[in-house]
Amino acid sequence: MANLKKNLVYNFLLSFSQVLMPLISIPYISRVLTPEGIGKVSFIDSLSYCFVTIAEFGIVVYGIREIAKVKQNKNELHKLVLELVVLHCITSAITLIFYGITVYILWQKIQDIRLVFFSVSFLLVNAFACEWYFWGLEKFRYITIRSFISRLLGLIALFILVKAPPDYYIYYGIITTAAIINLLTNLVNVFRKIPITLQKVQWKRHLKHTLTTYFISLVYGITVWLDNVLLGIVSTAAVVGIYSMSIKMIRVGVSVFTDMFLVLYPRTTTLLYQEKDKELQQTILQSVQLVFIITIPASIGIFLMAEPLVNALLGVHFSGVSRNVQILALLPLIKTYSLFLNKQILMSHGKEKLQLYGLIIGSSVYILLMLGLSYYLHDRGACYAMIIGELIILAVGFGYVRKNFPGLQIFDTTSLLQSIFASLLFIPVIWALKTYLASPVLIVLLALLICVPVYFLVQLLVMKNKLVLQLYGSAMASLKKNIVNTQS
């Protein structure tokens, strides 16, 4: 339990850096680059990650699960890592061929060889990606420090090198270079501990196990990486730029919550493997409560604060983004709850095929809506398509979990209602700030400073939310212990 708390702290710090860095970079980029330049970068970046997902072959999720199982057996661990790295290199080599064909077909949408150069460089190094190794071993301290350093270096480079609209290709170069630094650092740390040998490497034995998770990754990636590509096909680079900034603002928040549950995934797998049913049920119930406690106020806050938030972060070039942000405001709740159901429950119980069916249904509807609505409503249509597609994935996942695991408590009405009613207090606070203040930056800062403590105080003192009380008690106990240790 102590390790889990430490991992959650490290993951919080990692997520905090994921929020802080974009909060610093987005206002700068939106004012230096044009929507068209940002649209070009978003298009090639999404295209690159589509092929990263194709090359990944389901190895990431499968690798985390298998590493968590064999981490106590050194020989099995070394063998597993080598086999999965070899498999990924093979799939990446094949994928690069199809990437070249796709770039040729879509060249009219790209028209910049510099963007392709950075993209190919990233894809080549990504062939040796092994992030799953550190997630499976729960090395969240290392992941946090490494990610923070690479992001900080990228942020510094951004302010030094990107000075005018034509520098959009440098912006993309910084993005890919930061990712490459992470990949190479991982590689050095893995093979410093694991001897490289290709003897008795049986990578083929993993194919049947990774196949289902591979299809899940492919279909899951449709709403994550294919959105900018689909929008770019039926619309202009400027529209892609406006949409990409809308979804980026939302995804910054979503990633904080979803990463939190990635920490719990290997722990859930371990509890299942060790048949600790009571602890498993407790972990799942607390996860449900946590989803509602943190994502409901986030979604309501984003909806109410959309206009000042956009004005503070993006500036005049992206004034139309606020409506998109309001449409997408439910995404933190929908996406986090969906991830919890599909990954922490279905996938950890070995029900990957059920998750795949839900993703196929939701993603099929999403593609049709994306192409249709985006053609007529442009960036706003893309936002509607995203919300509807994610809602369908959530609904199907909820149904599958209820049907296959009727004994698991995957919904907590009390936490849901407590979170909604506590969040309604945001309305008068934000209305007053919008009425009496002109500065969007000041509105956002004061709203956060007032609403966040008010929300948790109401949950703690008025609603007496069980999980909030437990977390508060745990935090106070840790604080007292640290004070005693310091005094002694």
CA-to-CA separations, 237 to 43, 112, 154, in angstroms, rounded:
8, 13, 24
Residue 271 is assigned to a structural domain of this protein: yes
For the purposes of burial, counting CB atoms within 10 Å of the CB of 387, is it exposed (0-12), middle (13-18) or buried (19 or more)?
A: middle
Q: How far apart are CA 336 and CA 257, in angstroms?
A: 6
Q: What's the pLDDT at 378?
A: 87
Domain contains 238? yes
| Gap between the Cα atoms of 258 and 277, Å rounded | 24
Angle between helix 35-56 and 207-225 (nearest 10):
170
Cα separation, 111 vs 192, in Å, equals 41
454 class by beta-carbon count within 10 Å (0-12 exposed, 13-18 middle, 19+ buried): middle
Taking phi first (over 0 means left), then psi (-120 to 50 degrees means alpha), and beta for anything else, what does residue 337 get? alpha
Q: Largest alpha-carbon pair distance within the chain? A: 71
Give the domain extent around 344.
2-411
444 in a domain, yes or no?
A: no
Tokens linked to 145: 């420090």
Alpha-carbon distance 218 to 339, whole Å? 15
Q: Has residue 111 been placed in a domain? A: yes
Contact between 30 and 317 under an 8 Å Cβ cutoff? The reply is: yes
**pLDDT of res. 262:** 64
Residue 382 lies inside a defined structural domain of this protein: yes
Residue 423 belongs to a domain: no
- Encode the chain in three state secondary structure: CHHHHHHHHHHHHHHHHHHHHHHHHHHHHHHHCCHHHHHHHHHHHHHHHHHHHHHHCCHHHHHHHHHHHHCCCHHHHHHHHHHHHHHHHHHHHHHHHHHHHHHHHCHHHHCCHHHHHHHHHHHHHHCCCCHHHHHHCCCHHHHHHHHHHHHHHHHHHHHHHCCCHHHHHHHHHHHHHHHHHHHHHHHHHHHCCCCCCCCCCCHHHHHHHHHHHHHHHHHHHHHHHCHHHHHHHHCCHHHHHHHHHHHHHHHHHHHHHHHHHHHHHHHHHHHHHCCCHHHHHHHHHHHHHHHHHHHHHHHHHHHHHHHHHHHHHCCHHHCCHHHHHHHHHHHHHHHHHHHHHHHHHHHCCCCHHHHHHHHHHHHHHHHHHHHHHHHHHCHHHHHHHHHHHHHHHHHHHHHHHHHHCCCCCCCCHHHHHHHHHHHCCHHHHHHHHHHHCCCHHHHHHHHHHHHHHHHHHHHHHHCCCHHHHHHHHHHHHHHHHHHHHHHC
Q: Cα(262)–Cα(143) distance, rounded to whole angstroms?
A: 13
pTM recorded for the entire structure? 0.75
Q: What is the reported pLDDT for 15? A: 67
From first to last of its 488 residues, the chain has per-residue pLDDT tens of 445 566 666 666 776 676 677 778 888 888 888 888 888 888 898 889 889 888 888 888 788 878 877 777 777 778 888 888 888 899 999 999 999 999 999 898 888 899 999 999 999 998 888 888 888 777 778 888 888 888 889 989 999 999 998 999 999 999 999 989 988 988 888 888 777 776 677 777 877 777 877 887 788 777 777 788 888 888 888 888 888 888 888 887 787 777 766 666 656 666 666 666 677 777 788 888 888 998 999 999 999 999 888 888 887 667 778 899 999 999 999 999 998 888 778 877 778 788 888 889 998 999 999 999 988 888 899 999 999 999 999 999 999 999 988 888 888 899 999 999 999 999 999 999 999 998 888 999 999 999 999 999 998 888 888 888 877 776 677 667 666 666 55
Instruction: Report d(CA 387, CA 395) in Å as an integer.
Output: 12
CA distance 67 to 69: 5
Alpha carbon distance 171, 159 (integer Å): 10
Evaluate whether residue 118 is within a structural domain. Answer: yes
pLDDT of residue 322: 87
Residue 441 located in a structural domain: no
pLDDT, residue 485, reads 63
* Number of folded domains that form the chain: 1
